[in-house]
Structure 1
């Protein structure tokens, strides 16, 4: 059984970024890809990085193994600043850092086994040990029967499994994922997410990923940071950021989870009106229509529901139609706040 990364410091700070900045010289002006980034990533967690195109996600991820050299600030891994590492120190650090890519980056002329074993060969590890570790990785990713196949004979999901096995074969304690599921169909994406989740739990592996797929963050990550124009605009546990996004950029990104949006449905009669009941996970409340109707004290009908569970917390919104006279509106709103985290009255569309 693979167990190369059992650390006693699970939950301790693994990576700390202090005042991290990255600038690129331009013809007319300097481009600031990253500005004063301050973050902590805990050992053994799955940490997501999101943002719009050009927000600095790739620059931040690539700073963690110095594929991008920071212009200023510190990248502290286990307390050591890798920004100042020389070539030999950096080579050793990169052996402890695996990376998987959107388009797999496999060598087409080499078999699956040879692709996985290549980092071991480059590291000077002997044939017998290489064979043992390759077999171990093939078992981990469920490709024991594909050892002698070539990449062209594999599906997209299988290619990414090879990429994951190759990234883990040097037994790293950090795995960086650069849009690892973006080139995959939905079924393969779910399979890869399940594999990464299993690897994270079994190996106590810290995973840092960038993605434009909010579903990946929702299903895989423990915490998330939102970047905009190279700056951190929001960060926290996934349920908290998704349940009550504070920044407009975050709200824009999260709309992709529910592209249909809300429909302003008109009440059935002139005496009825609409309420949106919001659940952010903050108080751990779960929507129950019978309890809502009892609390409001008037007949209440479900119009629309958009509810999901993230990290064990209920998040989302219920839109309900209330049969109540206008003069009790303030009272009903007050009662509604006892059964939801926040409440707003919705203007019905004519």
Structure 2
């Protein structure tokens, strides 16, 4: 992890959903600059593979040349919504372009070399954060050399990617109005005390989980963010009981509150599977291991393993790779690279 990189600050940028999509991406790229920049700036962009969607790709570059990044990206992936792009981006990953099976030879391609090498660019390091709904956010940077990515750095960015996907799903679902309070929202103080229970009061167990999550996030934003940033990210889970995201809200006096906004995964319907089993197998199909799926849903890895086993039994598959291919065949993403 880069010396001056603040992963908690990055998560704060992830959940700042009050501005436009371009401004949000700008915030992500800025927050990632100290970690990813190799002299060419940081690129952040979003796109959606949903059928009948013609939304343009939204892209920003901080500290670099946007046109250069987009031209190089176009040479790596000529059409950002074709099948190759779906395979490329349809898996949660933090990796070099040269590591990906679809792009392993791209830096030797004469066309790419002609456009990239004169600028000193030899690789691309990036995060791909897809969601089962068919949306994806990519954050990355051109690299001056082909270098290996160490395991701790990759693990950290995969966790950050889980949050990026969750926040973008919420942004997309609420049409950029995620922080407009409604009477149905649950509101907690920064120390986890219930301020408003919302239209439908949560169960005692759910309320306990929300309180614990609010306290954990507040703890992560305290001394842990500098003394133990990896631990801070560990305790800031992406969802609470696979249902809620906690977002900042401030009153007129500047006091922070947490708003619990429902942010469940949208999943296709397979009558044989429960909703939780659906959620788990969809994440597995996007490249999540059990631990990371638990982090994404706010569930224990053992609970994820139980739902995964039940789903595989119901679907008549015995191997994880068989499940991945089956679920991907039903998703908005084509079968992605299934290397582990």
TM-score by length of 2: 0.29
Bigger Rg, structure 1 or 2: 1
Give TM-score scaled by structure 1 length: 0.28
